[in-house]
Structure 1
């Protein structure tokens, strides 16, 4: 029995070592200009989190850490880049430690995620890279806006919803770059307010919006919520995320024969 336990412990330790050597650890460490920077993401696998958070630890004996991390950090993902929304570690001294937070909504897509720190100890940029797991993008997220909230849904969720469709599906993207099957209407995001009568009359009606990347439909969703609609959803990541999930788009004339507009 002791021999079996020893074998199991040895196997677990070997597996852990192999995992770490293969890059399994989330901690990243870099050194530049006498400054050591250690960065560890704390919630990459939490799909409901409103922010993507990193524990950042910085040490130096060569000078003062007098910079503001919110001014020198950028987070880049598949859909673009964002600046920090908060840093809890202050500035100054030889040691800094805190949580650096970024808005999650624009970046929580499967794929590489790069945290860049500029002018930290030298003029060389420090780039820390991770991979966003697909499991971190699959849940609906409520987005608080003026007048209430709308719900971000994933391509997988929308795909399931389309199997028993009970909602009004709107393409808000301009110019036309394709559509999802069973789209009900094409209302450009910047005409949402002026064409509000083309949406369901019932304010509680279920409405799903989409565009190419999620940015235009986000604007349209905010207008609808402000106008009193209470059951609005937005395809998070838009048609780009839809295709990355392995689902196909339709194009005018390829199936329905109609011209969007």
Structure 2
């Protein structure tokens, strides 16, 4: 009877240990060590949120890290890079960056400069490419390459469109530990028609995120989206900004696996069972 009871204890202990290993939830890594830099390192704003509104809070590294804790299903505050981009005297040759580590690798997210918009990209300039994509994804693809499309583009540029879409509001930077995919939230207007120089229609919102330039794992490129979900938030002072969440992504490098505390305890428990089992065998012989 004694040996039978001991076997039951061992079996239960192993089951608990294996269960601790088998029930590990999928983890999502977040940006760590967040800092602001670039050639215009002071040109940023931090917005916190209360679940209804976003509102400006003092610029500090602590607040920058704090507001980057959202996700697609729960966008929170955000960090606006190149916050003065639409103000008089803005220096469009400088940038503001958000830097940190994700999955153990460095990542830099940056505002855009004038040279980014005029650089060669996909057989044209980045500015023309992005605007054509904006028209196409919002149902105006037939105007791309026509005099109408060129007129819309010229009007967009003349009215400060480049500057308006160069100051991304980064709300989160997360990584799926299973796939390596890095997801970045960009807070913007759920209906961005007026920002594109088009007539707003509440029943058919036109959508376009601001652009963020990234450098990660030796690659530098641009990220943007033309599909938003409602964030459930609006900026306190204007009641419009940050109403849409645009998620963009990077195919990231799989992070190095680090066992959860529960896994370590489970493994220790299983190891302890085997040690106990050996002692019982010696005692019975």
TM surpasses 0.5: no
Instruction: Indicate the TM-score class for this superposition, using the shorter chain for normalisation.
Output: under 0.3
* Larger helix fraction of residues: 2
Q: TM-score, normalised by structure 1?
A: 0.23
| Larger Rg, first or second structure (1 or 2) | 2
Q: TM-score, normalised by structure 2?
A: 0.21
